[in-house]
Amino acid sequence: MTQAPDRFRVELIGQASSHLERLTARAEQLDLRGLLIEVLREMMENLETRPREWGDPYINYRNLNAVGYGCTLNTARLRIAYAVHNMEPLVWLSRVTPLTDSPFKED
């Protein structure tokens, strides 16, 4: 059995970068910087160390040799979508979106 790597490399794909920019702007606007920093730290720690255990698998990307996962950060009501490569220590973060009851949700 192959031993899990110490750290996975996390890459942003799709709209993840613009999602994070909007969340940062909203946090600044509403003085929620502390909350955003806390949830982003939690997200990155889990994506780098235990992405398969942290999220719920929902799709098999056979052409990418990866599995797609979703996870909700309840403290900020953010939904995370990402994929984990089956052989390489690599995570692709594709979405970080606020749920309807999130303090980060834009009106």
* pLDDT band (50, 70, 90) for residue 3: low
* Digit-coded pLDDT (tens) for 22-35: 999 999 999 999 99
- Domains in the chain: ranges and CATH: 9-98 (3.30.2310.20)
**What does the chain look like in DSSP terms, one character per residue?**
-PPPPS--EEEE-TTHHHHHHHHHHHHHHHT-HHHHHHHHHHHHHHHHH-HHHHSEEEEEEGGGTEEEEEEEETTTTEEEEEEEESSSSEEEEEEEEE-TT-TT---
* Digit-coded pLDDT (tens) for 32-86: 999 999 999 999 999 999 999 999 999 999 999 999 999 999 999 999 999 999 9
